[in-house]
Amino acid sequence: MKNTVKIHVPPSQQVMRNRTYNRQMRNLYYEKANYCFRKIKKIVDSAVDSEKSPSESDLLVKLYEFLDLLNVCLSYAKYAVYSGKSEKRVPYSQDHQWGILQEEEVLVYFLEEQILSVKYIVSHIETNKRIQEFAKKSEADVIVNHILANIEELNKETEKDLLYFYDNIEKRYGIGNQLFGILQELQSFQ
């Protein structure tokens, strides 16, 4: 039987090691989410160019994957900022060892906003699929057909809104990538 030596690591070093790990994982998942969104945007843009809507089931799978990546990235970003503490955080400008970069907090808000936009798109696609399934079941009912025709007309307008959301997410990624670049530069100096 081997004797193991237990090395005591002070809590301050544990926190820094955890923050470093969470930052690295946040960076990894941010890039994965960005790459996933570029795939989604390519599918949507090719559908717009060919003037036919993309397959909702394929798009929904990609959107779920994107949403999962954003959620994982957000959780690592929050752990990097909050480090399991609920008390007041000190900015990096006041404490160069333990302070939090303001850009890290902005990135958390950015990710939360992206998640809400993607949830809206997913919700709309899921609702649209349920309405279409319902319409197939009750084709004979005249009143239902009239209502569904109105909903179909509304969906044509909503497609423009969804394209706006995709474009908006893409524009936000342009800003987010600049923020992310600044974060990576600043963290390499820490």
What digits encode the pLDDT tens for the residues 97-156? 555 667 778 888 899 999 999 999 899 888 877 877 777 676 656 666 666 666 666 666
- Residue 73 confidence class, pLDDT cut points 50, 70, 90: very high
For the chain, domain boundaries: 11-117+170-189
Q: Is the pLDDT of residue 11 over 70?
A: no
**pLDDT for 98:** 53
Q: Which of 165, 133, 131, 136 is nearest to 151 (CA)?
A: 131
Token representation of residue 97: 């060892």
Amino acid at 30: Y
Cβ 92 vs Cβ 102: under 8 Å? yes
CA angle 122, 123, 128 (to 5 degrees): 100
Predicted TM-score (pTM) of this structure: 0.76
Enter the DSSP assignment of 140.
S
Q: What's the maximum distance between 2 C-alpha atoms anywhere in the chain?
A: 81
User: What pLDDT score was predicted for residue 2?
Assistant: 63
162 CA to centre of own chain = 16
Residue 31 structure tokens: 């890039």
